Chain A
Amino acid sequence: MKTNRLKMACAILAMSIAILFAQSASAQPASKGKIAVVISTLNNPWFVVLGDTAKARAIELGYDATIFDSQNDTAKEAASFENIIASGYKAILFNPTDANGSVANVQRAKAAGIPVFCIDREINSTNAATSQMLSDSYSGCVKLGQYFVKTVGKEGEYAELLGIVGDNNTWNRSKGFHSVVDRYSGLKMVAQQSGNFDRSKGLEVMESILQAHPNIKAVFCGNDAMAMGAYQALVSASKDKQVKVFGFDGADDVVKMIAEGKIAATGMQFPKVMARKSAEFADEYLKGKRDFPQKVPVPVELVTQENVAKYGDYGKK
């Protein structure tokens, strides 16, 4: 009798365990492993879109994905990499904080056998990351510079808000813009200051520029967050009709402001395209592919009041 009861209890227990496992298996397919998405800062909606899209695509491809925020700090970025390496992640989708300062982190991951795929921003090395998916900032700003001359004219004073000084994108954008605008001797840059790619800093820097140079006709900003900050400063100083604002990124808010006639133009960088493709590269790598191009340029398109209807939601409609 006792033996029968024991047998029955064991059978019930075994069935319960089998049902539990069957349910969890049918509810969620087994993960292929973990992918880390390391983003330079989540204090900017453009990078939030970049990170969220990379994470979502990695999940679609069957991985668990986690976002790490470097808060524009290479020390925090290094700590995230150590955590990622120690926690058994299979690949890293990486938006670096500093073109030089981030190289060591990528090399550490590579030494640990973890492939790194850079998104949007590059590192100054061609043998650390598996591949780098990079916005063609220079060419985008050449187009923006040409449009700047067309709309502002060939004479007048203007200011420039630079991004993070250690980031190559800052200089690629600035150099692309100046490769055009500097050819017109009548256009004079009266101020060039870093707004750190940050909206609040952009506002603050623009306020001080306006005090020193009240007659500027335009401001070129190295990203859209600073462009929004600059526009806010112009509104406060009642100079938003006098000064044309040019941004770069293709942030949704700025695209809307272009449609409303508040901002003159921006460069659309397609963060969703870059993020998705990087996750797909990581998947291909984990399936065995090894021959990736080191640098994959992603085009930047000029968004103006004439063609703004074609753009939105961080890409082309």
Chain B
Amino acid sequence: MRIVRWLIAIAIIAAVCWLFPLFHVVRLKAERAAAAFNATDFAETFWTNKLLPSIDKAVNAGTLVADIQSDPATAKKKYSRGVGLSDSYFYFVTGTGRVMAVSEDAISLAITDKATNAEVALQAGLIFGDAIRDGTGMLDASAYPNSQDFNDISAALNHIVETRVLPELRERARIGTTISFTGCAEVDDESSDLKPLKIVPIQTKSP
């Protein structure tokens, strides 16, 4: 009789635990995967919905180059943006230029009619750095809890430039032809990055 009572009690407890479990087993990896940031998708959306539509906010290359040639400090003050405590700064720039030279790493352009040296060098080799991510001011590190995600955005944007923008640029780049461009320049060292201004292109066209 006693045994039966015990068996009934155990059955009731088992039924309650089955209906109302004390804990749930959750697959941590699956949850993490679901929450994982996808830099490639983010970069794709940013590129199409924000970056390309913002081209009208870029400074005119003719104006910028002229100001850099006369006074780099004033040009920096008027048109650049910086990030954090960095001495490096960025320009978001658009313009038209005549192709003066073509190499594996850069397409050199003259912006002004009388220029004898290249004033702009569109970067055409492997793209490194944060010029596109940080050049427009539309993305802010403070929005990303893990800076690895923010850095992955840089790599994904550079990948878009290499796979989508540069092949077209190389096709267009013939010495003497004219190219319209929009892009971002990162100035780490004024002695080497300003003359010519090294620009990572985000769009190029034949005018």
Query: Which residues of A come within 8 Å of B, CB atoms?
Result: 99, 122, 124-126, 133-134, 136, 138-139, 142, 145-146, 168, 171-172, 175-176, 179-180, 183, 273, 277, 293-299
Contact: A297 with B128, CB < 8 Å?
A: no
* Cα–Cα, bound, A273→B141 (Å): 19
User: Per DSSP, are chain B's interface residues mostly helix, strand or loop, or mixed?
Assistant: loop
List B contacts of A133 (CB < 8 A): 85
- Our pick among B85, B86, B148 for the contact of A172 (Cβ within 8 Å) is B148
* Cα–Cα, bound, A15→B144 (Å): 61
B151 at the interface (CB under 8 A from A): yes
Q: List 29 A-B contacts (CB under 8 A).
A: A124-B146, A125-B145, A126-B142, A126-B143, A126-B144, A126-B145, A136-B84, A136-B86, A139-B129, A168-B147, A168-B148, A171-B148, A172-B147, A172-B151, A175-B148, A175-B152, A179-B155, A180-B126, A183-B126, A293-B142, A295-B141, A295-B142, A296-B84, A297-B84, A297-B85, A297-B86, A297-B141, A298-B84, A299-B84
Contact: A299 with B85, CB < 8 Å?
A: yes
Given contacts A126-B142, A145-B128, 15 further A-B contacts (CB under 8 A): A124-B145, A126-B143, A126-B145, A138-B148, A139-B129, A168-B147, A172-B148, A176-B151, A180-B128, A183-B126, A295-B141, A295-B144, A297-B141, A298-B84, A298-B85
B interface residues, tally (CB under 8 Å):
22
* Cα–Cα, bound, A296→B86 (Å): 9
* Cα–Cα, bound, A75→B152 (Å): 31
Q: A236: shortest Cβ distance to chain B, in Å?
A: 35
List B contacts of A142 (CB < 8 A): 128-129
B83 at the interface (CB under 8 A from A): yes
Contact with A along B128-151 (1 / 0, CB 8 A): 111000000000011111111001
- Our pick among A134, A145, A293, A298 for the contact of B147 (Cβ within 8 Å) is A134
Q: B82: shortest Cβ distance to chain A, in Å?
A: 10
List B contacts of A126 (CB < 8 A): 142-145
- For A184, the closest partner residue in chain B by CB is B126
List A contacts of B152 (CB < 8 A): 175
List A contacts of B147 (CB < 8 A): 122, 134, 138, 168, 172, 295
Known: A175-B151, A298-B86. A139 touches B142 (CB 8 A): no
